[in-house]
Amino acid sequence: MKQWLFLGTAIVSEVIATSAMKSSEGFTKLIPSLIVVVGYVAAFYFLSLTLKTIPVGIAYAIWAGLGIVLIAAVGWMVFGQKLDLPAMLGMGLILLGVFVINVFSKTGGH
């Protein structure tokens, strides 16, 4: 069970880091730049802990898929970036893929 907590922490850390990257304005602002570095170090550290029990393909698919959807949500809510219908449908399919992996996959680590 803790591998899923590690994966969730990796995803949240990556989303925070990527969000801060937008605010760092090309690494010209110190605090957002530090958040980027710390966030990515934490993301990869917790992802590496996840890979002890969850296969790399499954962990990465979930990490990347949920990261895409969460970053798009942050972009929309925080930065006012628009999402059109095809973008929302595509992200819905990503979420459906993550659901299918978690519910139906017999791959180790579940």
List of residues 6+ apart from 7 with CB closer than 8 A:
46, 47, 50, 54, 59, 62, 63
d(CA 30, CA 65): 29
Domain assignment present for 110:
no
**What is the C-alpha to C-alpha distance for residues 79 and 62, in angstroms, rounded to an integer?**
24
Per-residue pLDDT tens digits for 26-80: 999 999 999 999 999 999 999 999 999 999 988 999 999 999 999 999 999 999 9
Range of the domain at 30: 2-104
What whole-number distance in Å separates Cα of residue 21 and Cα of residue 1?
Answer: 31
The pLDDT score that the predictor gives to residue 69 is 93
* H-assigned helices in 30-55: 30-50
Residue 80 backbone class (left: φ over 0; alpha: ψ -120 to 50; beta: rest): left
Look up residue 80 and give its DSSP letter.
-
| Residue 99 located in a structural domain | yes
In a domain, residue 50? The reply is: yes
- And the tokens for 98? 């993550």
**Is the residue at 59 inside a domain?**
yes
Number of domains in the chain: 1
Does any domain span residue 95? yes
Q: Is residue 93 part of a domain?
A: yes
* pLDDT at residue 107 tops 90: no
pLDDT digits (tens, 9 = 90+) for 1-31: 899 999 999 999 999 999 999 999 999 999 9
In a domain, 109, yes or no: no
